[in-house]
Structure 1
Amino acid sequence: MMRVLVTGAAGFVGSHLAQALKRACGDDILIRATSKTAGQHPDYGPISALDIEDAAAVAQAIQDHAPTHVIHLAGIAAPSAANANPRLAWNVHLGGALNLGEAILRHAPACHLLHVGTGLVYGTTAKSGLPLGEDALLAPADGYAASKAAADLALGAMSQQGLKCIRLRPFNHSGPGQSDAFVIPAFARQIAEIEAGHSAPQLRVGNLDAERDFLDVRDVARAYVLAALNADALAPGTILNIASGTPRRIGAVLEALLALAKIKIEVASDPARMRPSDLPRIVGAADCAKMALGWSPQFAFNDTIAAVLDDWRRRTTVR
């Protein structure tokens, strides 16, 4: 039986991961969920408190749970939040990864660690405009991406010492439950509030010219589960991009959401939201995930944005 320890389980991806694990494994799995603070979760049940920055606490959690797999979701989700507090970002991302890697090597050396990084580690290499494969140069463009890249590289080095680590690099993903700190739910929240009569029918936007690679969070969660199920067949240190391979202009994403709106909405530029991007296009190549895991995206993009908009309609109604 798989014994899976999930860090950061209370976050956006956590719920979708729990559902994907249960769909794939049924009763043949034991899931232990942890987060910064303890609580009850509709998908996991009880969540234990675990401060990923506390090396002793991490080591104790590994000893207590004796996992066969650790899926490491814990981190600072929004790049803007990480960049506003870079020291915390480094402590959480690099320090947390080191704490987990060292604890697993010492107390559960047969355990597989699935580290969830980010496609933003490729940074300025994306200026080529070409799809980024796992062998693309790491050139992070901000503190968030740099701290994630450092964790990725540190665990890669530890895999040479025996750590059974798989390094996952997901590109942008969205879905129900995501914070409006991200572009698709930010648009969706404004539309839902306008529809509900809470705001004037004007949607304020920033830079619409950038192109990004978007996935449905449910496809991403399924990729993580497939990586866990296939971990024995993957070499320690394996890197897998999780990406759609399709660049989408932010303006086109907005147009698709507005087409789903129940009323006509005007779009207005907001200087406070205008952050010109040095990386006009970021798109990933996920051929390795397809070959190694048999994974490819299943959710249509329009279904994803419709789900996000419906989620914000529900949230707006109950507030």
Structure 2
Amino acid sequence: MTRNSIMVTGATGFVGRHLTSSLGAAYPDAQISLATADITQADAISAEVRNVRPAFCIHLAGIAAVADAQRVPSQAWQVNLHGTLNLAHALRAHAPECLLIFASSADIYGASFKSGRPADEATLLSPLNTYAATKAAADLALGAMAAEGLRCVRVRAFNHTGPGQSEAFVVSSFARQVAAIEAGLAEPVIRVGNLDPERDMLDVRDVCAAYIGCIAHADALSPGSILNIASGTPRRVGDILVDLIKIAGLTGVAIETDVSRMRATDIPTACGNSALAAQLLGWQPRIPWRKTLEDVLLSWRKHIADQPV
């Protein structure tokens, strides 16, 4: 097994589409296998792993939206925890030298953000919603399996956005509404949840660079390694909306609170420390935040323009 054998789960999702493109550019001669098996079916994912025997597996598949996990908790646990365990057991059985790169989440720090300090990899896990709890459980389970011989790294990325993201996520939701107003397809009103929280925001392409960095620097990563991927800069959600409106050049736009967009537990500030990723991977965010916003807005403009009248 060499770096020419890379498996990706969840490749058709938002992050997966960006990652497969980036992997192709980074490793043009690689055999990149896009997993098709349902990870909740142990026999199916085991057969696929046995067939591919990857040297690296980037595990993105999962229920990614907080609201989706809240709506059907049983499915979130089945996919995010048990599906991850099915994959890990398959790798340990059929590709024991494979490095599993797990897309964990900074959301698992939860209530620990209330300290006001940027979270590092030693920050206590204290999830505040079903999605975060399922990811925390998978993260901890993989750590235990690493102690028993599984090669894995847990990548805890902070909020990330970019072109092609679902409107279930705040930046994309704002951009879709702005683009619809621009196109004359919606009244000049943007419906929002809580605008006061501050979030550490990243471009999805920078997050993908971190996953690829784990492949490039695999020899520097001990089994069970944890890496935060963060900008270190908290951004107020309301300011992100203001920036999108300015980029679009809109005026006279009203802002209305939509209670259905409010979270029961919304921490004031979530920010991360990614010094370890800088040290081990040479990673740092490179895409300017304004470009990220411009690209998300452009993506929604194109999507709206392509819709049948």
Using structure 1 for the length normalisation, give the TM-score. Answer: 0.93
CA RMSD of aligned residues (A): 1.1
Could you tell me which residue of structure 2 aligns to residue 43 of structure 1?
A: none
Number of residue pairs matched?
A: 304
State the Cα distance separating 1:88 from its structure 2 match: 0.8
Task: Find out whether 1:171 has 2:158 as its counterpart.
Answer: yes
What is the CA distance between 1:276 and its match in structure 2? 5.9
Aligned to 1:101: 88
**Alignment gaps of 5+ in structure 1:** 35-48
Question: 1:266 Cα shift?
Answer: 2.2
**Deviation of 1:100 (Å):** 1.2
SS of corresponding position for 2:117: coil
In the alignment, residue 232 of structure 2 is paired with which amino acid? G
Residue 121 of structure 2 corresponds to 134
| CA pair 276-53 structure 1, distance change in 2 beyond 3 A | closer
Gaps of 5+ in 2: none
In the alignment, what sits opposite 2:293? Answer: 305
Letter in 1 for 2:185: H
CA change 1:272–1:66 in 2 (3 A) is closer
Q: 2:131 aligns with which of 144, 150, 167?
A: 144
Instruction: Tell me which residue corresponds to 2:33.
Output: 32
Residue 277 of structure 1, CA deviation: 4.3
> Residue in 1 aligned with 2:284?
296
Alignment partner for residue 258 of structure 2, among 265, 270, 274? Answer: 270
Any idea what SS the aligned residue of 2:227 has? strand
Does 2:303 match 1:315?
yes
Q: Cα gap change, 1:275/1:99 in structure 2, threshold over 3 Å: closer, same or farther?
A: closer
The 5-angstrom pairing of residues 176-187 of structure 1 reads 176-187=163-174
Give yes or no for contact 1:166–1:231 (8 Å, CA) kept in 2. no
Q: CA deviation at 1:313?
A: 0.5
1:147-162 matches, cutoff 5 A: 147-162=134-149
Q: Is the 8 A contact 2:203 2:287 kept in 1?
A: yes
Secondary structure of the 1:252 match is: helix
Helix, strand or coil at the partner of 1:260: helix
- Partner of 2:301, secondary structure, is helix
Aligned with 1:119 (options 103, 106, 112): 106
Rounded Cα–Cα distance in structure 2 between residues aligned with 1:271 and 1:169: 29
Cα offset for 1:113? 0.4
Give yes or no for the alignment of 1:219 onto 2:206.
Answer: yes
Match for 1:58: what amino acid? I
Superimposed CA distance per residue, residues 156-199 of structure 1 (whole angstroms, 9 cap, x where no aligned partner): 00001110000010010000010000000100000111111111
The one-letter code of the counterpart of 2:273 is A
Instruction: Measure, in 2, the Cα distance between the counterparts of 1:226 and 1:252.
Output: 31
- Which residue, 17, 21, 40 being the options, matches 1:19? 21
Q: Deviation per CA, 1:108-148, whole angstroms, max 9, x where unpaired?
A: 11111001010001010000111000000001111110110
Measured in 2, the distance between the counterparts of 1:172 and 1:284 equals 10
Report how far residue 232 of structure 1 moved. 2.4
Corresponding residue for 1:205? 192
Equivalent-residue separation in structure 1 for 2:97 and 2:208 (angstroms): 23
Deviation at 1:106, TM superposition (A): 1.0
Asked whether the 8 Å contact 1:207–1:276 carries over to 2, the reply is no
Q: Counterpart of 1:132 in 2: which secondary structure?
A: coil
1:233-253 per-residue CA deviation (whole Å, 9 max, x = no partner) reads 210000001111110000110
The equivalent residue for 2:271 is: 283
Cα distance in 1 between the residues matched to 2:266 and 2:8: 34
| Secondary structure of 1:296's aligned partner | coil
Cα shift at 1:278: 3.5
1:6 to 5, 8, 20: 8
Partner of 1:37: none
Q: Hey, what does 1:78 align to over in structure 2?
A: 65
Q: Which amino acid aligns with 1:316?
A: I
Letter in 1 for 2:136: A
* Secondary structure of the corresponding residue to residue 135 of structure 1: coil
Percent identity of paired positions between Structure 1 and Structure 2 = 49
- What is the CA distance between 1:263 and its match in structure 2? 2.9
Q: Give yes or no for contact 1:76–1:92 (8 Å, CA) kept in 2.
A: yes
Q: Kindly indicate whether the alpha-carbon contact (under 8 Å) linking 1:242 and 1:284 is maintained by their aligned counterparts in 2.
A: yes
Q: Secondary structure at the match of 1:130?
A: coil
**Superposed counterparts of 1:249-268, under 5 Å:** 249-264=236-251, 265-268=253-256
